[in-house]
Structure 1
């Protein structure tokens, strides 16, 4: 795994049973992940090899996946959400093909981003802000919530 993740508490057998009942057989690499990193909050990251920004702000714990999935309008029922980005989008496992998808809630679309959960983890890299290069004049204007930094 390219990105170091904090070790958390292992998921419970009841949570795994509930996920299996709702989503069917889970990929073994994902079950192994839950045994060590259930609910992990990784450092800033980005998925290597994509031409759009995909990253994980936090991994959903097994005990919260079903309630989160049921509360999100438009999330396809054949996707098990396991991670969320900063914008409320989800990274999911396909329940039938076990591919990893990025589901964009604003576009209501999903794109395959990895061929397996292990592939996804292996390609998740630390995000380096200095790697973002803006051209002169590329940003025309910005808005910052005044509550974010009141001293500005």
Structure 2
């Protein structure tokens, strides 16, 4: 289950305005989450999506209404980048999104959007370009596991490969000389 530091200030009118803005009704399990937590900072939590088998990601935040990472601003930022039947509801440590689908048939399904696979220009992303996490928001919440870094070290995991942006590396090197 999610380990979250909840946002304060949930407002029912903001929920209604958001639903009207996006043109979809939100699933009840997601509405209850917003009423109880209004999004927030997620601590030590990992989740799973399916792309060529099981893939893990570190969940870092869930978006709320009127919060620092506001649902409305996140919707505006990503509305032309993710499928138009989805809303962004959370973020992972790498800047990827957790999305909630609001179209019939797959209504309430939760997906992982990998920004590395984003399409540009005339190509539009479809729901088939995202990776399934869970069939309902409640199932998504229940699937979240506690990430215990101490246990991982004991299991003998080792870093195989690290990639650093070349511009960032130059900046680090320049700053280390000062």
TM-score tier (shorter): 0.7 to 0.9
Q: CA RMSD in A?
A: 2.6
CA distance in 1: counterparts of 2:163 and 2:59, whole angstroms? 24
Cα 1:84–1:18, aligned 2, differ >3 Å: closer, same or farther?
A: same
Would the aligned equivalents of 1:11 and 1:35 in 2 still touch at CA under 8 Å?
yes
Matched, 1:12 2:11: yes
Residue in 1 that maps onto 2:74 = 68
CA distance in 1: counterparts of 2:117 and 2:24, whole angstroms? 27
Residue in 1 that maps onto 2:126 = none
CA distance in 2: counterparts of 1:123 and 1:94, whole angstroms? 18
Residue in 1 that maps onto 2:29 = 29
Higher strand share: 2
- Secondary structure at the aligned position of 1:44 is classed as strand
**Which consecutive segments of 4 or more residues in structure 1 shift more than 6 A?**
none
Higher helix share: 2
Following superposition, the deviation at residue 40 of structure 1 comes to: 1.2
Following superposition, the deviation at residue 118 of structure 1 comes to: 0.6
Map Cα deviations across residues 89-117 of structure 1 (whole Å, 9 max, x no partner): 11011011110001111112311111111
User: Which has more radius of gyration?
Assistant: 2
Structure 2: gaps of 5 or more residues: 119-128
Q: Give the TM-score of the pair, scaled to structure 2.
A: 0.70
Among candidates 116, 122, 126, match of residue 142 of structure 2: 122
